[in-house]
Amino acid sequence: MIERYTRPEMRALWSEQRKLETWLAVELAVVDALAEAGAVPDEDAALVRERAAFTVEAVQEREEVTDHDVAAFVDVVAESVGEAGRWVHHGLTSSDVLDTALGLQLSQAGLVLVSGARDLREALVRRAREHAHTLCVGRTHGVHAEPTTFGVKLAGFAFEADRNLHRLERAVQGVSVGALSGAVGTYSANGPEIEEAVLRRLGLAREDVSTQVVPRDRHAELLGAIALAGAGLERFATEMRHLQRTEVREVEEPFRAGAQKGSSAMPHKRNPIVSERITGIARLLRGYAQAGLENVALWHERDISHSSVERVTLPDATILLDYAQHLAIRVVDGMVVDADRMRSNLELTHGALYSQRALLALVEAGRSRDDAYRIVQEAAQRAYREGIPMRELLAESAPELDLDSVFDAGAFVRNARDIVARLDRL
């Protein structure tokens, strides 16, 4: 992933240095387990542990000869040890190292993602509670519907963030596995007891049945959870973009006054660029999820058609979601909420958005539903067209109505209080 969208912790996790360090951790754990089982002399195992080393440059240089990255790595490490280096990679095939090390890296990257997802949820919960009573218009099809509160809007995003958090937790657990079953997954070189001992050292679960590779439905599930989390971020970002439009102007992204520039040509602009960036990132994450599904079906016991895909999708997807989550946290924490503008926008329909309350009040007063609907519909449309408050029009056409009750905005706030209180379950 390009540097622009990579946070330092994820950059370190997916660096070439960290990848090879993780390969080495797997190799050393195998040597230790073999020594414990009596298959490798203790003094040789101690030398491997003490001397094993590599440099990224040396491995890359060796790969120019071998045209095989794991073989190049093993050559360099074995040479660094000396004679005892013959035990490095003993009984292993490349996938044993690659898939087990990948499980370690994904487990570590997953911790970062889950932490960010939890921080996002908590940020949304805080702002939802802050604005539980901030009245605003609710929209369906982009058109004014009924009043709601901004806290209710944010509470919906908070619960979605909570679901995404739990999906990520499950998916990360699913990929935190390893396999050291050898060629074709038959344990013909090292037995299952060595695999168990190594994975216990590394803190990974064992794959139930390995066909030389860890099945890729696990990785597809992770990429799917990442894509869903990205879609949730996009839903929030899309709402922010709409609410920041000049004609709406109810909420704005944080903007560093005196430093940030919204446009190279128009100094007045304050554009929702962070939300737009999140939206674009979500598109990439959906593409990675599709690639993950394509990786599930491999030929026979294994091929490596998945390898080239995963070198891009797994680092990039985790890096991008990490970045997008923290963009969203920045927006949630710093967004400027214009409660006065929200109140003003409530009046754009001249009271027509209270139509359902008027309809139900007329039905309860004895009118048929169709008669009530027609009365309210006509009043609402006149209010739209002529700018006459619908309350005045209903006073003429439906004098039996208790208009104070119908046009009580506080009813929506009281209901919102109950909805936002559900956040206590998180």
* Token code pair at residue 119: 């921080």
Residue 205 bridge partners (DSSP): 177
Q: Under 8 Å CB-to-CB from 300, ≥6 apart: which residues?
A: 211
Does the active-site annotation cover 263?
Answer: yes
Tokens of 278: 């999140």
Tokens 């909570």 found at? 162
The runs of H, that is alpha helices, within 176-272 are: 192-202, 217-243
What is the rounded distance in angstroms from the CA atom of residue 262 to the CA atom of residue 84? 62
277 burial (CB, 10 Å; 0-12 / 13-18 / 19+) is middle
Q: Are 108 and 33 in contact (CB under 8 A)?
A: no
Is 90 annotated as catalytic?
Answer: no
C-alpha span between 93 and 85 (Å, rounded) = 16
CB atoms within 10 A of CB 251: 23
Task: State the catalytic residue, choosing from 15, 188, 263, 405.
Answer: 263
Q: Which of 276, 157, 291, 280 is nearest to 219 (CA)?
A: 291
H/E stretch holding 278 reads: helix 273-294
Structure tokens at 414: 């009281």
Catalytic residue among 141, 264, 268, 308: 141
Of 324, 294, 109, 121, the closest CA to residue 231 belongs to 324
Question: Which two structure tokens, joined as six digits, stand for 63?
Answer: 């790969």
Residues facing residue 136 across a β-bridge: 148
Catalytic residue numbers? Answer: 141, 263
